[in-house]
Structure 1
């Protein structure tokens, strides 16, 4: 593989890894709410070369376990908060970077989404920007989160009040969607965005989970199609011999 292919593969792998991290993190988050782990050994140490070792603070771990146990089932614990938003950021960051390359993956995405491709790119860019720049506990918008995207939309002569809809049974039938109603949709009016607006009033947690799942499924489908293409190509070469 050349340098671009290596970077693309790394970016796609990051989408996959962050989605796995999201799932494992959610499981552990649920576990810390339902199981009392405070009586377990909280001693954690990482050892490295040259007899170096880093000792993690058991009191901090204890505080997080207490926070989880005190958090209602329907509410989000501190641990879950960081799992979810770091995963969302990682997935969207990696997806944006993967689409910056002129590559077979970008062509696959453009063909799949058609006129919706640019809207998809703007949405994942927006999520990446917000979650990378955010310093508010409530996750409020900063102008730089959306200003660049809005300027890009205007340069391209596109509508700033955009929508995106993806029906799995129609667009990715090979994944075997549970039913025709399994659809991800979202709308963002970039002209109406203002500094200080709560991010979760623009995209809900449900939207972010569905967007993350879509990114993962797109990567997995692309990899599957690429594997099939290579197999078919090898078969053609064998037949020619």
Structure 2
């Protein structure tokens, strides 16, 4: 949609836009403001769309924060992710944690790294136990996820996936996030989070229904023996 706005002057289509915020309340966007914004975007397609940029950041922040909370607090879904992702679970988890930290702690539009974004995580990755368990040799995390290998239900190219490398030992405060993770990769990772959540919902529901079907006949055939006292 943004590309359509950048390549076409849609300012003439602007009109007052009420956004319902409750049963008897709404927030209004004025025609003049919308018209000015559309015209500006069309005249300066080379400049970053601040409004769209903020929306993107908010979306990424929300998606990665929710996924991190799931990993942290929901044992059932965490185990599902481990089974589904196999050797890619650890790099996936560490990537999500890192991005969640940067997006939540950032106070600048450039999403510059702070030491608190990665210091504890870097030390965790470099700990002897984690190094041995995950067959690591340093603080580099490689996420090499291919759908065909882990989610065959998805149809399409057998090479489609996401490939990221994060070297926690090389991180420096002040480095813009976009130097470490391409904007396109943030979209790919968001897509993966969505697909995993959809797959988890479908598989866990199917498993629950299967258990109900196998338990019901047993319950119906089980008779309760009552003892009587004379």
Q: TM-score range by the shorter chain?
A: 0.7 to 0.9
Give the corresponding residue for 2:96: 124
Counterparts in 2 of 1:62-211, with a 5 A limit?
A: 62-72=35-45, 76-155=48-127, 156-158=129-131, 159-176=138-155, 178-211=156-189
Counterparts in 2 of 1:208-219, with a 5 A limit?
A: 208-219=186-197
Residues 193/115 of structure 1: CA separation in 2 closer, same or farther (3 Å cut) = same
Give the corresponding residue for 2:207: 229
How far apart in 1 are the matches of 2:159 and 2:116?
35
Which stretches in structure 2 are left out of the alignment for 5+ residues? 132-137, 221-230
Residues 98/50 of structure 1: CA separation in 2 closer, same or farther (3 Å cut) = closer
CA shift digits 1:28-71 (9 cap, x unpaired) = x2343244332334423456779766444555434432232124
SS of 1:109's equivalent in the other structure is: helix
The structure with higher relative contact order (CA 8 Å, sep 6+) is 1
The Cα of 1:238 is off from its aligned counterpart by 3.8
The Cα of 1:175 is off from its aligned counterpart by 2.1
Contact 1:67 1:78 in 2 (8 A): no
CA RMSD of aligned residues (A): 2.6
Give the corresponding residue for 2:135: none
> 1:39 is matched with which residue: 12, 23, 39?
12
Contact 2:11 2:36 in 1 (8 A): no
Question: When the two structures are superposed, what TM-score results if normalisation uses the length of structure 1?
Answer: 0.76
SS of 1:194's equivalent in the other structure is: coil
Which stretches in structure 1 are left out of the alignment for 5+ residues? 1-26
Give the corresponding residue for 1:9: none
SS of 1:165's equivalent in the other structure is: strand
The number of aligned residues is: 212
The structure that has the greater radius of gyration is: 2
Question: When the two structures are superposed, what TM-score results if normalisation uses the length of structure 2?
Answer: 0.80
